[in-house]
Structures are given as structure tokens and as C-alpha cells.
Structure 1
Amino acid sequence: MNQPLESPGAQGMDRRSALKITAATLGVASLGAQAAPRAGSTAPALGSAWDKTFPRSDKVVHRKVSFRNRYGITLAADLYQPRGASGRLAALAISGPFGAVKEQSSGLYAQTLAERGFVTLAFDPSYTGESGGLPRHVASPDINTEDFSAAVDFLGLQPNVDRQRIGAIGICGFSGMVLTAASADPRIKAVATTSMYDMSRSISRGYQDGYTPAQRQQVLAYLGEQRWADAESGRYAPGLHELPFDAQGRIVTGTRVLPETLPANPNPVLRAFFDYYRQPRGFHPRSINSTSAWTATTPMAFFAFPMHAHIGMIAPRPVLLVAGENAHSRYYSEDAYQAASGPKELLIVPGADHVDLYDRLDKIPFDRLTDFFRQHLAGQAAA
């Protein structure tokens, strides 16, 4: 079949009228190939309405912007600047979690750190949210790493940004991407992660590296057959990015990242994600985790491309890894800390779980993040 494959459309958009954000308010279609700007297209149509999951701050100036990565994909972003600031400032590129959009956690981080004096950019990764790229709902360890460098390109062109004082933050699954970007892009002068997930490791090896060699081969066989099915149907089927096994040793598949409703006695990790993405607290109609799924074949590339394999190349630039004391993902941050060289810090937040660091202002260590970037992005501002 020679015709282009299509991507799955929006799912799970019923019963959203009770939520504070609707597709009508956003002024755009929430998901689907037709609603998205094409790779290499001009800037997407970005509305001016406040469409975030957190309140707007009067301490910053906000505007939506767009820019291209080196693959020609147009990325959509929110630029936050401290109100009344002058001169050239330090700047931060921010993205994540995996399957989220800039109107969720990354935007909250960006706005809060802009209140503290940084120019910040929260962006939608390629193929997701308001950013371009076809098909929709694809993640790529290569292209999503490039997205961070493209964000640095954009920030470095702003007249009020000092190019020598740019850092980056990756949240959850985009922690691996930001560490990978920093290992090859020396313009990122300091890097931090929160609630780190190593998506290559998680997808290709399972939770706590639980896949057996036979199970890894079984997942790859499933992905290969799914590629044949997509090629024959002319559509990219939706699916899970992490594929668990049931008690009979069969791969568990699905067409949503999170269910419409919680099952009885849910796994605590599932409940934590559900309570953020599927509830008014964090729901957003453009978020894959809130409404739908990745393309089923998304995991294949993560088997072939390990994240932050060259983390030692970040040195002598500093790394800060933040994880919750009770986070199921804590071991990713601990292992990355052991692998990193040069200036590094592992900050364990007492009493916090993985999702707490998405939006709980009493848990996210913004004071430490502020001090870290002020210290390591310090210096005489450019003239």
C-alpha cells in the first residue's frame, strides 16, 4: 500500500463538560492528524485563551510561540518572562512528562520559574499537543531529544536571553531526553530532572527491568506484526507504550494509556496517574495520557536507542536529579546519579511520590531548582 498511513483520532472525550477546559474553549481540535500542523509547515494557529491546568500568574508575561527543529517539524510552546525584568536573563527549556502537554506540568514549572527571574519555554514535543509532525501520537528518542536543542535555538535568539546562560529541565519521561540532549549539546549549561523515567529502559526492559530475554523478544515480535497490520490497513493503530504481561504470559495491549474509570482496588501507581491525568486537577484534552494512546508501534525505536548512554559527556556541567521518596520511579534517578560524572546532586523529596512532583507546590522543590540554576547559570549578562 502506497498511500500515507493515518493516525488514530481523539478518544475518551465524553463527560468533559464538567471540567474547566473544553475543546471549544481551546479553539482547536484536540487531537488527530487533520487538526495538527504538518511537518515543515508554517506556525500552527495558536490561540490566546488561557488553556492551562493551573492559574495564570500576574508576575509574568506569557505568549504562545512556535519554532522549528532541525527535522523541519514546527513546535508549539509557551514563553514565560518575568514581568518588568530588564537586561539579558538566564533561560530554561522545559518539557514532559511523557504523554503530557505544555498546558500541564511543564507549563507550571515554566511559569513558576519565570516568577523567579528566568525566561522559560515550555514546549510540546514533536507529534503531540499543538506541535507538528505526522502521524500523531508518536514518540522518538532521537527527535524528542532534538526538540530540546531546538528549544535552546529559539531561546538563544530572544533579545532578552543570554545565550551563555541557558539550562533545561526534563520531567518524568522527558528526563532521559534532556540528559541525552545535554550530553551532546554544550549550549545547555545546567540540566535538572524531576520524577525521572528512562523511557528506553522502561519500554524495552519493563518495570524494574522485569522483562526476561524471551519476553523482550516477544514484545519485538508483537511490534513487528503490528507494523504489518498498520501497513495493510493504512492506519497507525493506537496502543500502549509499555507492554506488561498477564499471568498466562501474554502481552497486555490496549487503546488508551489510562482507563475511562478506575477498576476496583487499582494499583497505587495507576491510581496516582489517573488522579492527575483523568481528573480536573490535571486533565487536558490535548494530552495523550488524558484522552488516548500512543501509536502502537511507538515502542520499537526505544528498543534500539538507549537514552543518556553518554551522560558522562555532560561534565563539567552540573546535573540535578529530583525524585520523590516514595516514587516507584526513584531508581531511575538513583542510577542516573551513579552514572553521571562531574558536579551532580540527587535530591530525594520526603513524603513525595512520582506524580506529586508534577503539580504539588508543597512538594516540588522550586527553591532548590531556583538556587541550582541561579548558581550554575550565573555570570555577567551579555551586553
Structure 2
Amino acid sequence: MLTASQKKISFKNSNNANILISAVINFPEDFNEDKKYPAIIVTLPSGSVKEQMAGLYARKLSEHGFITIAYDPSYQGESTGAPRLLENPHIRTEDVSAVLDYLTTLPYINTAKIGAVGICGGGGYTINAAINDHRIKAVGTISVLNVGAVFRNGWANTTRDADAFPLLLAGAEARTADAKEGSQTFPLAPEKAEDAPNEEWKEVWEYYRTDRCQYPTAPSYATSRSLTQIATYDAFSKADIFLTQPLLSVIGSRAGTSWMSDVLLNQAASTDKNQYIVEGASHVSLYDVEDHVNEAVHQLTLFFQKHIA
């Protein structure tokens, strides 16, 4: 249910005019269309939709004077495009810039003050977009995950890049099968609790597969053909040269993925880069556990007030 300060919209993806992006814009309580406001793009994880954690962060950040937008990626959620559930990291990255393109058409947006926040895999996509697109003036991440690295190296960085070679073969085989039979998919979240390899993955299952936060348009599957792009993708490529914007990476003290935040901070060329650790939080608890989310939002608010307000 949308509030009075929210508006559901759709617009053509500037990278592919055949695709309509579905999004929700959040306005500050005292919004005046004759003024110009700083804006924040909030990008969601693989397998998620705007009604889940991205929408939560977008709504809370808008309470602090920002216009925010949470959106469904191309091919997913209520956005259009086929094959459904395609998770092509390069397209996901371009979606961030496409949303920014749309924001520049709105008269009440200060286009010199646009920031971006990405959650989990959306954090990696946001970083990659900021490396390419310096209209993004400040970057925040929550439980950042470089989707290529997690497929190559595992949740806790325990496998080698070369171990992911079978994923390339599986993706190629899926593309051949798709050409004859239609899209094959694989689960992004465990289908059953007993499928989870550890407690954090059990929390992933709980978030996406139970009343905790499951949503009809978020089946948390991806096309198997996506593996040919995911396995070789590096969200942080050239961050050491081109990621010069201010950066804040928020992680949980119990997150098995925290090593990816460490890699990001080590690589980023930015001279204003910081990591904030939410004590007691896991990777997934930063999605929706109220105390953890509020602490993260507070830090993001201070960060964006400094850099784009």
C-alpha cells in the first residue's frame, strides 16, 4: 500500500525503449514541486523487487529530505522485458544509469546532487554504475556483494576463480536449451530451509520464501543463461582508477560477505571512503530488522547530507 508521499510510475528504459521500468518515487513530507531536491537511487539485490528492502530504505531515506526511487530491474518484477528473470549484470548496471536518465527529466530534481545506494548484489551494480557514470555524486552500499565474486569465490571467499568454470559451461548449455525449449531457471534463494548450507543462507531462505518478506513478483529465481555473464563479471573492475566519488559501505559484524566490503574499500580510488559496521547484524538482517535498518539509514543520511544535500 502506497502512502501519500509515494507515487508508482513507469518509464521507458533509455537503454532499451522496448522495456518499461516500474518504480516507486518517495517524496519528502514537505515536498514542493517548485523546489529542487537531491535524489537517491536505491538498487535492490538479485531476485528481489522494489516492494522489499529497496523500498524500505528508499522510504526511510526520503523522510530526511531526499527524493528517492526504488525500481524493479529490466526483465524482473513489474518491469517488462523477456526472457523473464534475466539477471545479466551488465544490464543491471546499465539500469542504474537508465533510472538516473529518467530523474534528470524531472523538474524538481537537482541533477547535480544525485546519489545512489545499493543493497547486496545491488550494491555491486551500484558501484559498477558509479565507476562508469559520474553523474552519481556519492555512493552508499548495504551488505555489498559483488555478484561475480560470490559465484566464483563463494559466500565466504573459500573457492578459486577457476572453480567457477563449470558455471560457464552450464550457462552455455542453458542458452542452447533456451533456443529450443524456453528459459531454464535456477533458485537465487534456497527453496527449502534444509537446502541452506549455513545459518546466513537459512536467513536468505526465510526472507524470500516465508511471510517474513516474500512477495508475489519476487520468485527469487534467475535464468540459467545468466550464468555466462555472472561468472565473469567484476562489479569492482577499474574501481582503483575511476571510483573517485565519496563512498560509504555499511556491513553487519556477523556478515559472511564482509570480505567484499573490505575488497571494495581497498580498491576504491576515492579519498573519502569509509566502512560502518552494525554490531550484531548479519548480511540479511540489514534488509529488514528494524534496529539494524534504522542504524544503517542514520549513517547513510549523515553521509548523503554531507555530500549531496
**TM-score normalized by the length of structure 1:** 0.74
Counterpart in the other structure of 1:319:
247
Q: Which position in structure 1 is the counterpart of 2:304?
A: 373
Instruction: Give the match for residue 194 of structure 1.
Output: 142
Q: Distance in 1 between matches of 2:59 and 2:233?
A: 32
Output one character per residue of 1:238-285: Cα deviation in whole Å (capped at 9) or x when no partner. 1246xxxxxxxxxxxxxxx321x4229962022211221122221101
Alignment RMSD (CA, Å): 2.0
Residue equivalent to 2:282: 353
2:211 aligned residue (280, 283, 287): 280
- AA aligned to 2:185 is P
Q: Flag the 1:369–1:314 CA change in 2: closer, same or farther, 3 A.
A: farther
Report the counterpart of residue 239 of structure 1 in structure 2: 186
2-side partners of 1:62 and 1:224: how far apart? 40
| Alignment length (residue pairs) | 303
Aligned to 2:83: 135
Larger-gyration structure (1/2): 1
Is 1:99 matched up with 2:27?
Answer: no
How many Å separate the matches in 1 of 2:98 and 2:305? 23
Greater helix share, 1 or 2?
A: 2
Q: 1:315 to 1:224 in 2, by over 3 A?
A: closer
Alignment pair present for 1:80 and 2:26: yes
In structure 1, the residue corresponding to 2:235 is in which secondary structure? Answer: coil
The whole-number CA distance in structure 2 between the counterparts of 1:201 and 1:129 is 25
Q: Which amino acid aligns with 1:145?
A: T
State the TM-score, normalizing by the size of structure 2: 0.91
Using a 3 Å threshold, how does the CA distance of structure 1 residues 65 and 264 change in structure 2: closer, same or farther?
closer
**Mapping of 1:1-383 within 5 angstroms?**
50=1, 60-72=5-17, 73-86=19-32, 87-212=35-160, 215-231=163-179, 233-240=180-187, 257-259=189-191, 261-263=192-194, 267-289=198-220, 293-341=221-269, 342-364=271-293, 365-378=296-309
Separation (CA, whole Å) in 1 of partners of 2:196 and 2:119: 28
Counterpart amino acid of residue 111 in structure 1: R
Query: What amino acid sits opposite 1:75 in the alignment?
Result: I
Equivalent residues of 1:193, 1:322 under 8 A apart: yes
- Does the 8 Å CA contact 1:325/1:349 hold for their aligned counterparts? yes
Aligned sequence identity (%): 32
Q: Report the secondary structure of 1:168's partner residue.
A: strand
Look up the equivalent residue of 1:131 and give its one-letter code.
S
Q: Is the 8 A contact 1:69 1:75 kept in 2?
A: no
How far apart are residue 169 of structure 1 and its match? 0.5
Question: Would the alpha carbon gap of residues 166 and 313 (structure 1) be closer, same or farther in structure 2, given more than 3 Å must change?
Answer: farther
1:27-79 per-position Cα deviation (integer Å, ceiling 9, x unaligned): xxxxxxxxxxxxxxxxxxxxxxx2xxxxx556x34333333231222211001
Partner Cα distance (1:74, 1:65) in 2: 6
Question: Against the structure 1 CA distance between its residues 62 and 264, is the aligned structure 2 distance closer, same or farther, given a 3 Å change threshold?
Answer: closer
SS in 1 for 2:23: strand
Q: Deviations over 1:316-371 (max 9, x none)?
A: 42011110000111111111011112210111110100111111221122111111
- Which structure 1 residue ranges, 5 or more long, are not aligned? 1-49, 51-55, 242-256, 379-383
Find the aligned partners of 1:130 and 1:286 in 2 and give their Cα distance.
Answer: 7
C-alpha separation in 2, matches of 1:142 and 1:114: 28
Structure with greater strand share of residues:
2
Change (3 A) 1:220 1:316: closer
Task: Kindly indicate whether the alpha-carbon contact (under 8 Å) linking 1:239 and 1:297 is maintained by their aligned counterparts in 2.
Answer: no
